[in-house]
Amino acid sequence: MTHLPLLLSPEVAEARASGTPLVALESTIITHGMPFPRNVETARAVEADIRKAGAVPATMAVLDGTLHVGLTSDQLDRLAALEDVAKLSRADLATCIARGGHGATTVAATMIAAQLAGIEVFATGGIGGVHRGAELSFDISADLRELSLTPVTVVAAGAKAILDLPKTYEVLETLGVPVIAMGQDVLPAFWSRRSEIAAPLRMDTAAEVARSHRMRARMGLSGGQLVTNPIPEADEIPQSDLAPLIDQALADADAAGMSAKAVTPFLLDRIFQLTEGRSLEANIALVRNNARLAAAIARELCSLPSIAG
């Protein structure tokens, strides 16, 4: 591993040596997705959920030009306290490392880091996607293309409802990315359990997801799988409550002239304000739910032969 710009945390190195299942975690959700101090508290809770489910968490971030695979408790605190930390995707991950900078990894950059570290499963809240109005702005998250390139199974609660969901799933279909709904026939919509979009694939067990991941590797298919896991019922926000607030947040983003990387963090923050914090509680619950499913998938993967099976 020394030829790669990676540093495994002691816990991740130990898991690697003993064959313990690993689950990758992103860090943009910490630096740009949630307000302090709930961001660090959530990061710790998610890590604890993964350990409790029999796997080891590997939170990814760049600190002083080193790509960390797994953060120590001090490093996590340091990342959360950094001001103006870069939000890294495929386009700027290598540059940040080369310059000796700091940065948080998005879904796309976390998938790249996971692949470099040999980690096959990754849990997050929501992936980036096609923004509303993309027919004019061309704002389509690099997360979608990454899913078609990098062989990591990503567990999310769907794409965020601030996006254009039908267009997001059309692009994933075009790119040949398997989109799996866990335990239901429609795709979830992040803060709400159900969207109106039929699930392209449905699976009911972590073992099915793991077998499908392995079969793709065996067939030499590039890219990962997107597993969409509905938010627990007790934590969901009905779509009818959210729809007008999302419209308001989008209008505010427009009025504030938001573009490029600033759009998603701005919208998440506005919805947090407009729901008086309810969106954050739902976001935390769904990330933790996704972490538990990702750990179960990682455990199933460990029990399968690495490629031949």
Stretch that binds ligand PSU, among 4-12, 13-21, 78-86, 122-130 (CB under 6 A): 122-130
- Which residue, 60 or 210, is less far from ligand PSU as judged by CB? 60
Please tell me whether residue 226 binds ligand PSU under the rule CB under 6 A. no
Residue type, 17: A
Torsional class of 82: left (φ above 0), alpha (ψ -120 to 50), beta (otherwise): beta
Angle at the Cα of 113 from the Cα atoms of 111 and 118, rounded to 5 degrees: 90
Residue 4 buriedness (CB in 10 A; 0-12 / 13-18 / 19+) = exposed
- Which residue, 180 or 258, is less far from ligand PSU as judged by CB? 258
- Which residue, 21 or 128, is less far from ligand PSU as judged by CB? 128
- Kindly write out the interface string for residues 230-269 of this chain, putting x where it contacts ligand PSU by CB under 6 A and - elsewhere: -------------------------------x--x---x-
- Annotated catalytic, 173? no
Q: Are strands 22-25 and 225-228 parallel, antiparallel or unpaired?
A: unpaired
List the one residue from 12, 24, 88, 107 that touches ligand PSU (CB under 6 A).
107
Please tell me whether residue 125 binds ligand PSU under the rule CB under 6 A. yes
Site for Mn ion in 139-158 (CB under 5 A): 139
From the CB of 294, what's the least distance to ligand PSU, in Å?
15
**DSSP character for 1?**
-
Q: Please list, in sequence order, all residues whose beta carbon lies within 8 angstroms of the beta carbon of residue 176, skipping any fewer than 6 positions away.
A: 148, 221, 223
Q: Please list, in sequence order, all residues whose beta carbon lies within 8 angstroms of the beta carbon of residue 26, skipping any fewer than 6 positions away.
A: 59, 60, 104, 105, 106, 107, 109, 110, 122, 124
Please tell me whether residue 153 binds ligand PSU under the rule CB under 6 A. no
- Annotated catalytic, 87? no
d(CA 98, CA 168): 32
Chain residue whose CB lies nearest ligand PSU: 33
Q: Count Cβ atoms below 10 Å from residue 140 Cβ, excluding itself.
A: 18
- Which residue, 87 or 214, is less far from Mn ion as judged by CB? 87
From the CB of 268, what's the least distance to ligand PSU, in Å?
6
Please tell me whether residue 32 binds ligand PSU under the rule CB under 6 A. yes
**DSSP character for 209?**
H
- Residues marked as catalytic: 26, 160
Residues that bind ligand PSU (CB under 6 A): 26, 28-29, 32-33, 106-107, 125-126, 128, 141-143, 160, 261, 264, 268, 283
